[in-house]
Amino acid sequence: MQHVRQHYIDGDWVDPLDPTLLDVIDPSSEQLITRIAGGGPRDVDRAVAAARKAFPLFSTTTPPQRLELLRAVLSEYERRREDIAEVLSTEIGAPFQIARKWQLALAELRSVIEVLEHYQFEELQGSTKIVREPIGVVGLITPWNWPIGQIIMKVAPALAAGCTMVLKPSEVAPLNAIIWSEIMHSAGVPAGVYNMVQGEGAVVGEAMSAHPGIDMMSFTGSTRAGILIAQSAAKTVKRVAQELGGKSANILLPDADFESAVTKGVLGVMRNSGQACSAPTRMLVPAERHEEVKRIAKSVAEGLIVGDVRDPKTNVGPVVSKSQFDNVQRFIRAGIDEGADLVTGGPGRPEHLNRGYFVRPTVFANVHNDMIIAREEIFGPVLSILPYRNEEEAIDLANDTIFGLAAYVQSSDLARARSVAARMRAGTVHINYTAPDRAAPFGGYKQSGNGRENGKWGLEEYLEVKALLGYDAPLA
């Protein structure tokens, strides 16, 4: 792959000013794929300077002009989609069919285009004109679990708003971002509008967060890292939008179809090897149905195929890195030590695999909400089943968390499901596993973040609001 040891700045591929080399590891084989260029503060300075230089002109482009640009990006993206799926399967260990189906985020890109087609940047309120303008230069930091999707969910609305930007993709999964940058170049994005600096969060991310030339930071990742970014950004009072961790409750009400609800719940946790911040990792079930739920969950989890990401039958690939594997193992051992019932799975790799960061799909039952596995985000294929005595206790247990990204409610009575959903303290509540809505706002309550992505809400994160008083008032 070209450009692995370069950054993309001011419309060109450039060598780093503060060069380091960072290993990119195939999590299926534990072998080195390549080494990328890690940048530093001077690389960030150069990228921010390019973005600031490009902002005055790009911020005055019209919505139709930006629509034309986004459609060109979409066309190039569709042309390179197989290349991206190949890279994602290699660098994050996503089964290839899942990478093609779930990771590419074409729907998210198309959704931004649809929003821009109809969005009103100006409105008259009495004699006052309300104008929404691009906020300026934005810094974008994206994670490794849905890497290209998160790039799209930040870059596309920033472009639609008329912002210029600096992207720092995850150093764990950086290769898809190189292809994305090639797409942006081929689509004709003007020089300086989009810039990418590879590197570590503690170096490049910190330099971006504290940089006086960046007007806004948008970050997706852990709550711990989000706190550090907010602290650095506070020094220059820049806007911060964050989508952070989650520990989503999935309430199965007594009238739910348990065979279906448990099956879909288990699969929702295990997809992407459990590396999804909105995964339904806490399954809350009536105490009298606890044994039935254990039986179904065990059957579903043991039916999953873990292994070769090129095999179309594979459901679960590895977690992304050795540090992630070790962290998940620590949580599994903690669940056993705390006395939860290990229904299936457990420590170590599946028996048929002797290398790679593969985790056994694991289900714990009889979990209490004060256990570590019920309170902390594991980010691996681990489900906790918690019994409850009545609906009120289920709601209390669901909300008893520092997180609030997502929640799930299953019931054959839609009115009852709506009533429970209304009491969930979470940014997104899924009723009966409904299909995703790419135009709906996505973001969290509490320590799951602030701000929203997707739809018009995602666009508005990158806009300032100006009031022109007396705009339509008669002259005195």
Write the single-letter amino acid at 306. Answer: V
Q: Distances from the Cα of 351 to the Cαs of 172, 282, 346, 363, in angstroms?
A: 27, 26, 11, 17
Name 319's Cβ contacts closer than 8 Å, sequence gap at least 6. Answer: 27, 93, 273, 274, 275, 325, 328, 357, 358, 359, 379, 380
Beta strands in 162-300 (DSSP E): 164-168, 194-196, 216-220, 239-243, 249-252, 282-286
Q: Distances from the Cα of 286 to the Cαs of 154, 214, 251, in angstroms?
A: 40, 50, 9
- Residue 351, burial from CB neighbour count under 10 angstroms (0-12, 13-18, 19+): exposed
Task: Please state the separation of Cα 247 from the chain's center in Å.
Answer: 14
For residues 231, 242, 50, 144, the Cα torsion angle rounded to the nearest 10 degrees is 110
Nearest to 141 by CA among 83, 59, 77, 211: 211
Which residue of the set 182, 277, 453, 460 is catalytic? 277
Where is 73: in which H helix or E strand?
helix 63-79
476 CB neighbour count, 10 Å cutoff: 4
Which residue of the set 171, 243, 460, 461 is catalytic? 243
**Separation between Cα atoms, residue 412 and residue 423, nearest integer Å:** 18
Name 392's Cβ contacts closer than 8 Å, sequence gap at least 6. Answer: none
**Separation between Cα atoms, residue 113 and residue 116, nearest integer Å:** 5
**Separation between Cα atoms, residue 166 and residue 168, nearest integer Å:** 7
In the three-class reduction of DSSP (H, G, I as helix; E, B as strand; rest coil), residue 168 is classed as: strand
For residues 104, 39, 25, 405, the Cα torsion angle rounded to the nearest 10 degrees is -50
243 belongs to the catalytic site:
yes
**Number of residues written out for the chain:** 476
Q: Spell 223-233 as b/e; 16+ CB within 10 A means b.
A: bebbebbbebb
CA atoms within 13 A on the CB side of 290: 15
Q: Distances from the Cα of 239 to the Cαs of 362, 436, 452, 464, in angstroms?
A: 39, 28, 13, 10
In the three-class reduction of DSSP (H, G, I as helix; E, B as strand; rest coil), residue 107 is classed as: helix
Question: Which residues are designated catalytic?
Answer: 243, 277
